[in-house]
Chain A
Amino acid sequence: MNDVEKSEAGRFSELHLELQDWLAGYADGELDDHHTALVEAHLAGCEACRADVARQQVMSRRFQEVPTTRMPFDLQKRLDKALADAPEYSDPAPRTTSRFNLRQWLTGLYRPAVVGTGGWVVALVLAGVLLLPDVGLRSHDHIRMVSDALADYQKVAVTDLPALANTADISAPAKLAGGRLLATWHTTVGGEPAQAFAMRRGNSLVIQYRISEHVLFRNPDVRQAMATMGGYRTHEKQLEVLAVPMKEAGLLIVGPANAMPATSDLDLEPT
């Protein structure tokens, strides 16, 4: 063997060893064109590797003849029962949900609202809200304006923001620093007409409700709080509700606690 032959033999055995780990990929057709060609060139001159590929294919075929296991019937029944008894994750763990398909379902959910109202901005603002755990309303049943406002807030958060016709002419009752008006609509709070103003504040959705004075002062607890602290504040999990009097009207502000204004900071509309 001369030197040239020796070095060629060396290269061959080097490649031979290197390709050992590629042969499955070749046998399974998982290699790209480049590597397929590389392996084929080697196979043409290497009987050992050809045999290896053939054996791999023989074994893969042999596996297909092994019958699949059937689950015993009582295991089927046991699984049915375990699943039936499993808790309903009806409000899927927010953090994990959002990571996977938040964008997808938001796009679907907010298509009407997205048009002309800042697109993704709206969607993302609402996302902040939707990631809050389900807000139960039971403890506020006795203050109807609060439960009504919370219900309206949530309804909006899971359906659509009504379109905002002309932002320029409209302003919310309370100016919130850094807040931007997104939409307004008419609703009912405490059995009487009210107007809602949805605002983006930071990454949160804050909704103000202009309600009637009559509704605002209906509850004695609220009246007491107004008299002593200038406003009534309550919360349901992460959502906070603030009620303050305005001239001949009332104002409810609903939003995540961290996006809510301090009562003393409120800059109410001039009347």
Chain B
Amino acid sequence: MRKARSKQQFDALTRPWRDRLFGVALRQTQSREVAEDWTQEALLRGWRDFAQLTDQVAVYAWLLKILNRVVADDVRRNARRDQLAPMLTTGDAFLQEQACTSAGPFEQTVQTQSNEQFMKAVQALPDNFRQVVLLRDVEGLNYQEVGEVLDIAQGTVMSRLSRGRRLLASLLIRTESADGLAATSIHGGKPT
């Protein structure tokens, strides 16, 4: 008899990614509860669509794509996106200005910041940029996979990544140069 792929199979394939999936969800909302719901919904949708998973697709990228849809559906429903309005725009003039900051001091800047500070700056990125940066730099996906997860072209992945990281760098530099009050101003949650 034709045997459907079993729950055990699904579980074996997806369990190793649960933590990461939850981590990704958590980075897209302030609410732990919402992140938990998204994770569960993504997993259940994954189970429902398990038959569509082919050998050619990496399990994690596939799960991330599903999670991305879950989040998008939910965000659309709740217009949560409004809360994530960009704080900064990628202006060429600004980039030129920042381009002169050499890597040495920048590395120091980044290293002296705590994980919380660093990730807080990441949270401040506009949605489109943050997603790409996180999928690439935290989740370790290649450009093709990032493109598949977000349904965008690889060229778009590259440009968003270029701009997103540049924006992040500028946020980190700004934080640093805020009169030595970098840590407090970031913790104070007044990102101006």
Contacts and interface: CB of A to CB of B under 8 A. Distances in A.
Interface of A: 17, 20-25, 28, 30, 47-49, 51-52, 54-56, 58-60, 62-71, 75-76, 78-79, 82-84, 86, 88-93, 96-97, 99-101, 104, 109, 130, 158
A24 B96 contact: no
B2 A130 contact: yes
Contacts, number: 152
Contacts of B143: 25, 28, 30
B11 interface: yes
B31 interface: no
Contacts of A52: 95, 99, 166, 169
Contact of B7 (A66, A88, A99): A88
Interface of B: 1-2, 4-5, 7, 10-11, 18-20, 22-23, 26, 36, 39-40, 43-44, 47-54, 92, 95-96, 99-103, 106-107, 110-111, 115, 118-119, 136-138, 142-143, 154-155, 158-159, 161-163, 165-166, 168-169, 172
B103 A54 contact: yes
Contact of B137 (A22, A49, A60, A99): A60
B158 A59 contact: no
A183 to B, nearest CB: 19
A66 B118 contact: yes
Given A59-B137, A82-B40, A83-B44, A71 B22 contact: yes
B51 A89 contact: yes
A75 B99 contact: no
B115 A55 contact: no
A86 B137 CA distance: 33
Nearest to B57: A100
B51 A22 contact: no
A99 to B, nearest CB: 8
Nearest to A20: B162
A89 B92 CA distance: 52
Contacts of B52: 96-97, 99-100
B20 A68 contact: yes
29 contacts: A24-B158, A25-B143, A25-B158, A25-B162, A48-B100, A51-B103, A52-B166, A52-B169, A54-B102, A54-B106, A56-B169, A64-B137, A68-B23, A71-B19, A75-B39, A78-B40, A83-B7, A83-B11, A83-B43, A84-B7, A86-B48, A89-B51, A90-B4, A92-B4, A92-B5, A92-B50, A92-B51, A99-B52, A100-B51
Contacts of A70: 19
A17 B39 CA distance: 40
A59 to B, nearest CB: 6
A158 B2 contact: yes
